Chains A and B, each alone.
Chain A
Amino acid sequence: MSSLEKETTRAAQQAARGFIGGDLLVESLKTEGVDTIFGYPGGANLWIYDALYLSDINHILVRHEQGAIHGAQGYSRASGKVGVVLSTSGPGATNLVTGIADAYMDSTPLVVLTGQVAVAGIGKDTFQEADVMGITMPITKHSYQVRDPRDIPRVVREAFYIARTGRPGPVLIDLPKNVTGEVLPAGEDYFSNSTMKIHGYQPRFEPNALDVDRLREAIKQAKKPILYIGGGIISSGCSELITRFARETRIPVTSTLMGLGSFPPDDPLYLGMLGMHGTYTANKAVFESDLLIACGVRFDDRVCGKLERFAPNSLKAHLDIDPAEIGKNVAIQYPVVGDVGRSLALLLEDVPVPDCSEWLSKLQKLHAEVPLTYTKQPGILKPQEVLEMLQAATGGQAIVTTEVGQHQMWAAHYYKPVSPRKFITSGGAGTMGYGFPAAMGAAIAKPDQTVVCVAGDASFQMNIQELQTIFERNIPVKVFVINNRYLGMVRQWQELLHGERYAESRIGGPDFAKVAEAYGVLGLRAENAEEAQAAVAKALSHQGPVVVDFIVAEGENVFPMVLPGRGSDEMMLADRWSE
């Protein structure tokens, strides 16, 4: 059907059944610029589907609601837009819970639409009733239950505004069936009533100028400063500003997992990722620093390790939009609350240049002396090799999503995204099953870019059903399964921390290439370096979706590693302890 025909048919259908709450919802979503929804229908959201029928919003029908929400997250993380997901009530809505928690942890802006039983049935244990507002309260930025369809335009507007401003996050709208199904009398202007009423929400964009001046003076005094940057740089869209700031001040930079891509990976100021699996030099630099300048980060335990030993001799500055992050885990002497990009812009108006060239050259020397390493073994494919091949073939230009585990850390080590929104991973929640649907969402948001999901053999099995979705819609995701026949990260902890008692970490999987073929998706398999090289090339040049099963060494570990409870200066390197 042409879009004109669709529009005409839609109008005729609407005229026949009347203008309903669901129509109001779809119109409100369009007003917010929504072009894509990830969802799954059921009894309680059927009026919403009725309103979506023949609309020009692209609805992605997934095979599990968890796939829908991670899809919306990937879409959002790749595009910077608010992701939208739609489920039915009860089990449909509870299937979204993991994704909501994940989005909350990683500050991903989402609007989550859940069907609900009719208002008259709420509280009566009606079929497929679940208290989704109650269940998700601690993992949403805000939530609504709409009781009157006339509130829909205002609620939708507020929800998008709250989701994308300040510190972004998921906002849930619970929509009882009678509300979306209610026929509204024609001839009224339902949109005039969309003025927002959120007096309790005033995110602070503009930092306090005095705080910025205090920080500027502190930077001038510093001898061993370091920039510790994270996902907030990407949310704020200030990767160019942080790059300029580092280059003009000559302060070395380390990034969190969530910040990868926000600073040019080949810049001589860049020391790599910090934290549990950070580089030797990045962790060493943080430990020895006298001024830690934290930008858009949250002092996560996977970054800091044992708090008493985290940057023990440094003064600490924290630039963040969320005032509650300041001092939450670590005492801060120089807080700057506001948009981190805006704060950096103010600092750049009168750039403080510290005297730290000695410090920088010492770190650069160290970084060259202790690079990331692994040992190749003839005839056996090492997981790191696959990531190096991916890096070589894409030059860091592709969007890479990851699942969770060892392969995620190797991707962080060896894949070097050249710009923001090219490395999409579940950081705060560490959700296995995130990466594959997120890749699907990213590929929908950025159809002109190569999208690769680096998956573990176990993680991939958590949402493998979305192969059907990418097949049907011809979404050209390239899944690289780093197949070690283990819950590798669990195995590593058992080896290092549980006396090699490998309880339940050996895990089987199917022949992934055959599974892919069964879904109609190209499946490849590689067992050694030559085959891997060929498979990478073939996968990246293939027009449609593809799954490559890389059969890699079983017992490889991720190094460096700061063992849990240790200080970030005590690292296990591949073959020895750091001094």
Chain B
Amino acid sequence: MRRTLSMVVNDQPGVLSRIAGLFTRRGYNIESLTVGTAEQPGLSRMTISTTGDEAELEQIIKQVEKLIDVISVVSIGEDALVARELMLIKVSASAPARSEINGIVEPFRASIVDVAHSSLIIQATGDTDKNDALVELLRPYGIIEIARTGVTALIRGQLVSA
């Protein structure tokens, strides 16, 4: 089962180590981790996507909640979530391939953000599956480099994540 943990933490040195260290020590899995400032000064929002069975996820949440620098944790299922990841892909692109690549990029609402003599950089935003699909479609052209931020997320609707 994959879950996304959305947590609000103190913006303090060492917080990332505490949380990452806890996951390592207890053998929990981190698929992706993003962190950035939250709505209140002094606080950060950290989003971790992880996998495990029901009991394991419950333990993860309780152990994370025990950290003094963690203000709140919620675990969100895929459907209740707006989850987005930013991805940059550098792909080989000879002049004739460019219009083809344009045709692939467009339906993904991705954009070309850098054009060089024989390569392009494409910027895409979406959930992980959508970004994976785009990578597969671009693969035949020759992918030179990929950089992905990992997922960040908020709960849909009125509810707040913390």
Contact = CB atoms under 8 A, between A and B. Distances in A.
Residue among B25, B66, B72 with the most chain A CB within 10 A? B66
Interface in B52-109: 55, 58-59, 62-63, 65-72
A327 B17 contact: no
Contacts of B67: 142, 200
Given A200-B10, A324-B63, A327-B55, A137 B21 contact: yes
Interface string B13-55: 1100110011001000000000000000000000000000001
Nearest to B63: A324
Contacts of A138: 21-22, 25
A133 B10 contact: no
B68 A200 contact: yes
Given A138-B25, A199-B71, A200-B10, A324 B17 contact: no
Size bracket of the A interface: 20 to 34
Contacts of B55: 327, 331
Contact of B69 (A200, A324, A328): A200
A134 B55 CA distance: 29
A198 interface: yes
A130 interface: no
Given A137-B21, A138-B22, A138-B25, A324 B66 contact: yes
A120 B27 CA distance: 36
Contacts of B66: 322, 324
B68 A198 contact: yes
Given A137-B18, A200-B10, A327 B59 contact: yes
A137 B9 CA distance: 16
A437 B61 CA distance: 37
Given A137-B14, A137-B18, A138-B22, A324 B71 contact: no
Contacts of A142: 67-69
Contacts of A199: 71
Contact of A323 (B10, B17, B65, B70): B65
Contacts of A134: 17
A328 B27 CA distance: 13
B62 A201 contact: no
Contacts of A331: 55
Nearest to B18: A137
A133 B62 contact: no
Interface string A145-185: 10000000000000000100000000000000000000000
A141 B62 CA distance: 14
A162 B62 contact: no
A415 to B, nearest CB: 34
A201 B65 CA distance: 9
A170 B85 CA distance: 39
Contacts of B62: 323-324, 326
A136 to B, nearest CB: 11
Contacts of A137: 14, 17-18, 21
Contacts of A328: 59
A325 to B, nearest CB: 9
Interface residues of B, number: 22
Contact of B58 (A133, A143, A322, A327): A327
Contacts of B14: 133, 137, 143, 145
A324 B68 contact: no
Contact of A201 (B22, B58, B63, B68): B68
Interface string A448-468: 000000000000000000000
Contacts of B25: 138
Nearest to B68: A142
A134 B15 CA distance: 11
A324 B68 CA distance: 14
Contacts of B63: 324
Interface string A186-207: 0000000000001111000000
A255 to B, nearest CB: 26
B99 to A, nearest CB: 51
A143 B17 CA distance: 12
A137 B14 CA distance: 9
Contacts of A145: 13-14
Contact of A324 (B10, B13, B59): B59
Contacts of B72: 200
A322 B65 CA distance: 11
Interface string A316-359: 00000011101110010000000000000000000000000000
A533 B18 CA distance: 53
A327 B67 CA distance: 19
A137 B25 CA distance: 11
B8 to A, nearest CB: 9
A324 B55 CA distance: 11
Nearest to A200: B71
Contacts of B17: 134, 137
Contacts of B9: 200
Interface centre among A134, A199, A200 (most CB of B within 10 A): A200
A201 B70 CA distance: 8
A143 B12 CA distance: 12
A199 B62 CA distance: 16
Nearest to B59: A328
Contacts of B10: 200
A199 B43 CA distance: 11
Interface in A91-131: none
Contacts of A322: 66
Nearest to B14: A133
A226 B65 CA distance: 31
Nearest to B70: A200
A498 B59 CA distance: 36
B142 to A, nearest CB: 41
A555 to B, nearest CB: 39
Contacts of A323: 62, 65
A141 B59 contact: no
Nearest to B64: A324
12 contacts: A137-B14, A137-B21, A138-B21, A138-B25, A162-B68, A200-B72, A322-B66, A324-B59, A324-B62, A324-B63, A327-B55, A328-B59
Interface of A: 133-134, 137-138, 141-143, 145, 162, 198-201, 322-324, 326-328, 331
Interface of B: 9-10, 13-14, 17-18, 21-22, 25, 55, 58-59, 62-63, 65-72
Given A138-B25, A200-B72, 4 more contacts: A141-B68, A200-B68, A201-B68, A324-B63
Nearest first, the 4 A-B pairs at minimum CB distance are: A324-B62, A142-B68, A200-B71, A201-B68
